[in-house]
Amino acid sequence: MADPNFPYKHRDLSWLTFNYRVLQEAKDTSVPLFERIKFLAIYSSNLDEFFRVRVAYHQSLMRIGKKTKKKLAFPPEEMLKKIHKMVNWQQEEYSDIFENQIIPELSNHKIFLRNNEDLNDKQRTFIEDYFQENLLPYAQPVLLEKHKIKLFLQNGSLYLAVHLFTKSRNAYRFAIVQVPSEHMPRFVELPSRGDAKDLIMLDDIVRHNINMLFPGYLVEATYSIKLTRDAELYIEDEYSGDLIEKIKKSIKKRNVGPATRFVYDRKMNKKLLGFLMEDFSLTKENLLPEGRYHNNSDFFKFPNFGIKELMNLPLPPLNKKSLEQYPSIFRCIKKNDHLVNFPYHSYKYVVQFFEEAADDPDVTHIKIIQYRVAKSSKIMEALMRAAKAGKQVTAFVEIKARFDEEANLAWAEKLMAAGVRVHYSFPGLKVHSKLALVSRSEGHRSTNYCYLSTGNFHEGTATLYSDMGLFTTDMRITDEVARVFTFLETVKKPKSDFKHLLIGQFNMRASLHQLINREIKYAKAGKKALIVLKLNSLQDRSMIRRLYDASNAGVKIKLIIRGICSVIPKVKNYSENIQIISIVDRFLEHARIYYFYNGGKEPIYLSSADWMTRNLSHRIEAAFPIYDKDIHKEIKDFLRIQLKDNVKARVIDGKKDSDYKKDNSDLAVRAQLETYYYLKRKSDSFIN
């Protein structure tokens, strides 16, 4: 059992407070209206995945034996109750934001979201014709009958549950109709008057025409429903058997897994709900009442009608002038290290790195780790072109990247067909490092050019995620990157220890312990001691204990944690010297930074690794040091800007974890905008 006195917040409850911070953005009136609608979509999409993975995990724990359950720090029944309680009140607030804030705001801008009962004659004719011409082929009504007709609900699909009466009204029936949102746009523009914009959701078009599907019956009511299924791939982590085949088979089973959530219109009558529960083998733990509409991740596709004032002001990606001194990116990197900070800087430099490597006759080897990749990827195209040109190209493809397994398998097959040497996942271990190496023949020697990053080689997310990447030829780093790739290709332990990189499965956890312990020694000696960490998630108990020890010793600890945070600050005898903020804004904070004062030497590492048990114990991760003085200063400036945020920063206090940070400054500091203009000033002032 867990130490009852050890201040620790369960990761899933902490994650739900993070997702609530996302929902806060939807009700923040300073956020442009269409961006607020996107945050509704992000919240819903996040919650869908949470139920498919984390709630499914707790439900699976309920099926284990009582003796094993007693050993768990958090009983699954208790966790599920807490999760449902939090989600229920969040969903009520979600409905309130949508109905009482978003809808009226849209109306103020002459954008009207109509329901099927709020249409004029012309619009009714339009949706009747639209249904006949576009939806009727997909609409498959099914009359439900106990113990006779067992309908299978597709994961994440929209359905209408229909309450029917016979024409004589002496008997009732229940039925199901699928809303074909996979085939047709969720939002349909209606004929409108003047400069007004009228929209209707696909669900309501089906509702309006529902009588056509049930001749001989009277439709009493329709209610929207959706089922979420367990998405985990239960693959035995063994070293025998074909891992690729196991994953392929598991992907096929993903959408037929057991139910983890049944979302339904909270106005549904109890008789129909009870029937559906029995018919689909649902329990009370599966039920989640919501409003009239579900699958709200479809708000990503809400039409913007080109109204720019209702969208974020554009922040055009900045050029990195220091990477444009020479025609060749390799000459720039050879001269000195370069830091790129996305999405503020253009991602073209990463693409250029691979494209130039593919076309440069002096490049002999290209190596890369593929975790998540864009559907249309110039980087992957460059790798295939390089292989076809006779270069030795190696890609390590992590086929256990959740929800990207299928895409990664497809890319791996394309790469192999082009002549790329592809290495696949290790059973029981994920490779999460973001590393690339290019070997170039220069005279009588070969030079290794490396790109190390906190984020994936993904051109799409590079415009949405806040990440950092380092271009370098520093042999202290590049030699060890080469050693990582040798391990991935041979699965043989490196002959030499890593002295500069922190690599998961080798020296990462032990090195982090040493770095924290060093700050403790300085604090106990009465000297300045400071740790600043920027992470997506902090959950590992061992690392949290070390941070509590450091806090008790007098080390000042400042944490910037976007998502899961199991640390509870300001607890006497544990965490009195720990301050935590979380920043949620237009870009997803994704870079991981470790800073230690260390007597004024101030080592800084950028990393792919959060301080989660899975990252530190079950993955190949990489943290890389910053040796260049100018880059070192830039990252320190970046951390200062983040810590000063008083617009989008929330205070993590172990309770609400979502109150906006307040300070005595008269100047509003919004970290992401400050970072953009800080980098723009540096770019504009660059002297060749």
Residue 124 within a domain? yes
d(CA 300, CA 297): 6
Q: Are residues 180 and 256 in the same domain?
A: yes
In this prediction, residue 248 has a pLDDT band, given cuts at 50, 70 and 90, of low
Residues 120, 145, single domain; the answer is: yes
Indicate the pLDDT class of residue 126, thresholds 50, 70 and 90.
Answer: very high
Under the phi-then-psi rule, with left for phi > 0, alpha for psi from -120 to 50, and beta for the rest, what region is 169? left
Distances (CA, A) of 243 to 166, 188, 232, 398: 54, 44, 15, 11
Question: How many structural domains comprise the chain?
Answer: 3
Main-chain phi, psi angles of 461, to 5 degrees: -70, -20
Confirm whether 5 is domain-assigned. no
My answer on whether 491 and 595 are in the same domain is no
CA distances from 364 to 38, 61, 428, 438 (A): 45, 51, 32, 8
Confidence band of 76 (pLDDT split at 50, 70, 90):
confident
User: How does pLDDT run across 478-525, given as a tens digit for each residue?
Assistant: 999 999 999 999 988 888 899 999 999 999 999 999 999 999 999 999
Q: Over the stretch 330-358, which tens digit does the pLDDT of each residue have?
A: 999 999 999 999 999 999 999 999 999 99
User: Which of 256, 281, 310 represents a domain boundary (last residue)?
Assistant: 310
Transcribe 83-104 into DSSP letters: HHHHHHHHHHHHHHHIIIIIHH
Residue 43 to residue 25: CA distance in whole angstroms: 10
Same domain? For 299 and 345 the reply is no
Let me know whether 294 and 428 are in one domain: no
Q: Look at residue 207 and tell me if it is in a domain.
A: yes
The one-letter amino acid code at 525 reads: A
- 519 or 402: which leads in pLDDT: 519
pTM: 0.92
Tell whether 359 and 426 lie within a shared domain: yes
Counts for the chain of helices (H) and strands (E), in that order: 21, 28
Which domain does 417 fall in, by range?
321-496
- Three-class SS string for 426-473? ECCEEECCCEEEEEEEECCEEEEEEEEECCCCCCCHHHCEEEEEEEEC
Average pLDDT score, the chain: 90
207 plus 259 within the same structural domain:
yes
Residue pLDDT, tens place only, 1-14: 456 678 999 999 99
Segments of 15-127 assigned E as strands: 111-114
406: domain CATH number?
3.30.870.10
Residue where a domain terminates, one of 496, 524, 547: 496
pLDDT band at 65 (very low <50, low <70, confident <90, very high): low
DSSP assignment of 263-301? EEETT--HHHHHHHHHHTT--GGGEEEE-S---GGGGGG
6 in a structural domain: no
Looking at residue 19, what DSSP letter applies? H
Q: Are residues 402 and 527 in the same domain?
A: no
* Chosen domain end from 496, 531, 565: 496
User: Which of 49-63, 348-362, 577-591, 667-681 shows the lowest per-residue confidence on average (mean pLDDT)?
Assistant: 49-63
Closest CA to 8 of 544, 610, 534: 544
Tell me the CATH number at 234: 3.30.1840.10
CA atoms within 13 A on the CB side of 289: 12
589 Cβ contact partners less than 8 Å away, ≥ 6 residues apart: 466, 534, 536, 560, 562, 583
* 2 lies in some domain: no
User: What 3 state SS string does 136-181 have?
Assistant: CCCCCCEEECCCCCCCCCCCCCEEEEEEEEECCCCCEEEEEEEECC
- Predicted confidence (pLDDT) at residue 255 exceeds the cutoff of 60: no
- The reply to whether 446 and 525 lie within a common domain is no
> Looking only at Cα atoms, what is the longest distance across the chain?
94
Query: What distance in Å separates the CA atoms of residue 488 and residue 425, rounded to the nearest whole number?
Result: 9
Q: Determine, yes or no, domain membership for 601.
A: yes
- Residues 114 and 220 placed together within one structural domain of the fold: yes
pLDDT band at 73, cuts 50/70/90?
Answer: confident
Start-to-end Cα distance in the chain: 61
403 and 457 part of one domain? yes
Residues 287 and 328 in one domain: no
Catalytic, out of 163, 432, 458, 590: 432
Q: Please indicate, yes or no, if residue 397 is contained in any of the structural domains.
A: yes
Angle at 266 between CA 19 and CA 134, to 5 degrees: 90
State the sign of the Cα–Cα–Cα–Cα dihedral 231, 234, 237, 242.
negative
Residue 209 forms part of a structural domain: yes
Among this protein's residues, is 432 annotated catalytic?
A: yes
Q: Which helix (H) or strand (E) holds 357?
A: helix 348-359
